[in-house]
Amino acid sequence: MPPVVGSTQSTKVGHTLPSNHAEAPLFGYTLMSLGRQWRRVVHLRLAELGLTDATWAPLFHLHAAAQGISLKALAQRVGLDSSTLVRVVDLLENRGLVRRETDAHDRRSKLLQVTESGNAAVADVRAKLVQVEGRLLDGMDAATSQLLLQGMLQLQQRMAQELGDAVEDADDTEPTMERGR
């Protein structure tokens, strides 16, 4: 007997999907699409400040560090390869938003610091992000937005766990070289 439209079906993880869930948008697809749209809106608004996603995110991470950090450490925080980030740091340095300083503990190494102008840019970006967020969430009651935030934080934790498990699984399944083979 075919499922009745409007009935629900429980999944392994305790969610309920409409019985015709094959035609319903997938949660992950909707989340990814929403993320892309949100990012596009933010990109357009931050362009008004002369910043792009490639420039404001590293600036925020440097600001959050509250002390000088290496290019390698910044790359890890941003999730980029160091060689990719060099050009972005050069651009930020040329605009006077960051500076490279010699590491007092290792004179061969440079640490990245946010300048006063960089701190002002971070404050401008924060204000713009609050403004954009306010417009996008306008009309949504506080309880709904709080539930969405809680759900996203839960997902973030689960994805971090999943990624950690995936890395461990990959480490366990990598072939090893045995002597004599």
Angle at 31 between CA 28 and CA 34, to 5 degrees: 150
Give residue 18's pLDDT band: very low, low, confident or very high (50, 70, 90). low
Give residue 15's pLDDT band: very low, low, confident or very high (50, 70, 90). low
Give residue 6's pLDDT band: very low, low, confident or very high (50, 70, 90). very low
Cα dist. 13→17, 30, 163 in Å? 11, 18, 18
Say if 64 falls within a structural domain.
yes
The pLDDT of residue 9 is above 80: no
CATH number at residue 87: 1.10.10.10
pLDDT 10s digits, 151-164: 999 999 999 999 88
Query: Is the full-model pTM beyond 0.85?
Result: no
Say if 128 falls within a structural domain.
yes
Say if 168 falls within a structural domain.
no
Say if 121 falls within a structural domain.
yes
Q: How many domains does the chain have?
A: 1
Burial class (CB in 10 A: 0-12, 13-18, 19+), 62: buried
Q: Which residue has the higher pLDDT, 175 or 126?
A: 126
